[in-house]
Amino acid sequence: MGEPSSSTNSKVPKPQAYPDRSMREGTVLYCADTMTYRGKTTVVFQEWHVRTIQVKRGSNSRFGVQGLGTSSKTLYVNLAQKVEGVTWGKRSKTQGDFGWKSNVPAEYRKQFQAGHALPSGLYTTKYAALRFAVPDFRQTIAFCQESLEEETDPELLAEIREDMLLFQEGLLVLERRLKAMQRELRSERARSSTLDKPSDKETEQ
């Protein structure tokens, strides 16, 4: 199956610029997704935590391998997805000893260069992550529809239809969640505006 058209891609928000002021060890980035369990689809927010921001030790230099113990000056941000029981949980028999597991599987790790845009789909707020996920799901559904027109294999057609149905259900719950969050933000701005507005007595004085 081919890639979605560029016209569809243009509707998806751009990756978030690197947040210099807030990016540090412990910062949490969010990715909005959906999960279907026992016929019910819900919105889930993946949490990607900044574990370290450091140089790559022992990486190759421009003209070959660097000397032992040397490192590039380029900083890299290392992320790990927090998943209960997989990457995060009880580490020993000691009471209250919860934290990151010693070996985080590769599929739950990401790395990108400090100062560059955040990895696709990751944002510093849940709202921004939702704003990315909605058009991203629409793009995937359009891709599935195009594939249905091109594919001829019955088994692949069945798989595509099943995937498209899941994305359509996911899109509905994402859109509802986004609208609810937009209403909450508007209400918060309205309350803030009311509090900041001077009273009649203050105006008279």
The pLDDT tens digits for 111-168 are: 999 999 999 999 999 999 999 999 999 999 999 999 999 999 999 999 999 999 999 9
Q: Which residues of 47-76 are buried (b: 16+ CB within 10 A; e: fewer)?
A: bbbbbeeeebeeeeeeeeebeeeeeeeeeb
Query: Does the pLDDT of residue 202 top 90, yes or no?
Result: no
Q: Hey, how many other C-beta atoms are within 10 angstroms of the C-beta on 133?
A: 27
Q: Mean of the pLDDT values across residues 57-74?
A: 58
Helix %, strand %, coil % of the chain (to 5)? 40, 25, 35
Q: What is the pLDDT of residue 166?
A: 96
Total number of residues shown for the chain: 205
Quick one: pLDDT band at residue 65, thresholds 50, 70, 90?
low
Q: What is the pLDDT of residue 69?
A: 53
Q: What span, in angstroms and rounded, lies between the C-alpha atoms of 104 and 122?
A: 19
The pLDDT tens digits for 36-64 are: 999 899 999 999 999 999 998 655 555 54
